[in-house]
Amino acid sequence: MKTSVAPAVHPKDDPWEAALQQFHRAADHIPLKRGIREYLAFPHRELRVTFPVQMDDGSVRVFTGYRVHHSSVLGPTKGGIRYNPRVDLNEVRALAMLMSWKCALMHLPYGGAKGGVACDPAQLSRTELEHLTRRYATEISVIVRPDGDIPAPDVGTNDQIMAWFMDTYSMHLGHSVPAVVTGKPISIGGSAGRREATGRGVMIAAREAARMQEMPFAGSRVVVQGFGNVGSVAAYLLHDQGCKIVGISDVSGGIHGPNGLDPRAVLRHVQQTGSVAGFPSTTAVSNTELLELPCEFLVPAALEGQITRENASRIHTKIIVEGANGPTTPEADEILADRGIVIVPDILANAGGVTVSYFEWVQDLQSLFWSEEEINQRLERIMVQAFRGVVQLARDQDVLWRTAALIYAVKRVADALLTRGIYP
């Protein structure tokens, strides 16, 4: 049998170490007892599964998957599932921790979780992808349920994969359970506005950042790294606000159009050709070069660890809006701060997705659905309120926006833990 193994991660690029550094940096500003701080720093529950999948050619391939619950103090755990060759336990741990802080910051009644399978979905057929999803769903269903842990899409997964997950879970129980996952197709209990939610939140965050920094929004140059669901939606919504999209990239590389690009036209090109490469009237650039293009807004919306101490000094932007989870390392944070570059942190900037996932979950539980207009209005209100709270706290304590966001979130989880008490 063939075994699918994720590549090793160099210690300095370890997302778990980066998440811990960010947590401790914020915790230094909160009077936490040592035991409480230690408890919040580590996941509550970790599940590793190894399972076989029959491939189209009749062979059997073994995959490794994970599901991690970081905290359930504020409510059921919530977090996406990603399919990517880089997936390993430390990455999933880090993402689960970030979900705890993100949900707390947005005042959602959730703790944080994350899951993933080490695989390359682009190398799997639709049938193989379905078989992998259904087997993975079965393996982790021991800790997943609509009132305990609710998965959602992430890198490499989509609404169809959530549909297969929901159907598998429902078949085991003998009745339909739409609330067990979010990010589903609308036809089986998904929410209007969910597909665009993360990108819409990025746009709102960029707009609010421009307002706080007293700089023009319309006409601002924007570079977007990653043209998946988050990056593409953020790009065309920013374009709709009058911003000039001058750079876009995907896994194949990037394109630079200093006079501005129409993201929807780029999307059509991607649908026809499979990548942004070769879009008319643009210059090809690497993903590394794309991050260093001059702009007012840089939106890293790919994977974690993209802006590091190696390239932070070459970033030429005024504001970074983190569409991805953990795209900036702690070392890069310090370099960028010294250079006066503002960062809207991931737990704030990309929180639109989990916020509308919460709306979807609530709608599924009550079997009563809202219009897209209502969804977007509710999202706007929550995002703006959270953004202004973070900026005010940053001013009051003279800290970076990331640190302020984490202080707020960690304190909220710690307060809830102390209020509930330590069992038994």
DSSP-assigned letter for residue 346: H
Q: CB 336: neighbour CB atoms within 10 A?
A: 20
Output the six-digit token pair for 139: 């393996």
Q: What are the φ/ψ torsions at residue 293 (nearest 5 degrees)?
A: -70, 145
| Residue 90: closest CA among 145, 15, 183, 150 | 15
Output the six-digit token pair for 84: 């990517």
End-to-end CA distance of the chain: 46
Cα–Cα dist 292/290, whole Å: 5
Q: Are 94 and 16 in contact (CB under 8 A)?
A: yes
| Residue 291: closest CA among 281, 275, 302 | 302
Cα–Cα dist 197/182, whole Å: 12
Q: Are 77 and 149 in contact (CB under 8 A)?
A: yes
Q: CB 410: neighbour CB atoms within 10 A?
A: 25
Helix axes 34-41, 15-27, angle to 10 degrees: 150
Q: CB 71: neighbour CB atoms within 10 A?
A: 27
Say whether the peptide bond before residue 185 is cis (omega within 30 degrees of 0). Answer: no
| Residue 115: closest CA among 50, 46, 180, 179 | 46
Give residue 201's identity as a one-letter amino acid code: G
**Which residues make Cβ contacts (< 8 Å) with residue 6, sequence separation at least 6?**
64, 85, 86, 87, 88, 118
DSSP-assigned letter for residue 294: -
| Burial degree of 149 (CB within 10 A; 0-12, 13-18, 19+) | buried
Q: Are 135 and 51 in contact (CB under 8 A)?
A: yes
Give the catalytic positions in this structure: 114
